[in-house]
Amino acid sequence: MLTRPQIPGLFVTGTDTGVGKTLVAAAIASWFSRRGARTAVCKPMATGCVRRREGLVSEDAEFLAHHADAKFPLNTICPQRFAEPLAPAIAAERAGQKIEWNAIDSAIQAMCKQSDVLIVEGIGGILVPVDRKLTVLDIAKWLGLPTVVVARPGLGTINHTLLTVEALRHAGVSVAGVVINQFPTETPPAAEETNPRAIEKWGKVSVLCFVPRFAGSAIPDLPPDVVAAIEAVDWSAKAKGE
């Protein structure tokens, strides 16, 4: 079990893996950092990590740390790391390891003591298993942070997004809103154009912003149009549950 942070923050989840949680979480962290907030970022566990001389490293955690201007070491930002790109429960089992919840809790609490705001990125979708009994949803429940749902713009996203929102609310987790990632920069097809309104109508949830699709890489710098999209939201208010 994880201790609820004593500072404002956001939990960033997604409708699936590969929807852009890390990009959105990093952009939100950068929003706070550029306003002078001491911003802690955390990816409690990561799979598909790369092996370097210092051991397994999460490239997602590196990206978060860079844009938050984080002062904490990567093994604090991401306490649990596995090599295989699998759900954490499966990656841990295949590695002959267990998730060390005390290590995750200690890392989060240590960062919170020296920070003004905490941005936590989940792994995969909200019901991805993280050990033999628990899912990402349990992490969101324990932390109790307002949750941002990152979603795709295209066909199928209504169902995926509404299911994610429903699962969070059923568990008592506050949903801060939805961020549509990879939104077409030119005239969107019918599905992309109508999906956000449908999500708001049937999900009774706000679509906070549209992060545009961009060419090239977001490493090491965030594209200006991504920064501009994130700028449209008062993330401080969202982190306080307002």
Q: Which amino acid is at 116?
A: D
CB 118 within 8 A of CB 108: yes
- What's the start-to-end Cα distance of the chain, in Å? 26
Selecting among 43, 113, 141, 240, the annotated active-site residue is 43
Cα 224 from chain centroid (whole Å):
20
Task: For residue 113, indicate whether it is catalytic.
Answer: no
As a whole number of angstroms, the distance between CA 194 and CA 201 comes to 11
CA distances from 212 to 189, 200, 202, 224, 228 (A): 14, 19, 23, 10, 10
Question: Which sequence positions are flagged as catalytic?
Answer: 43
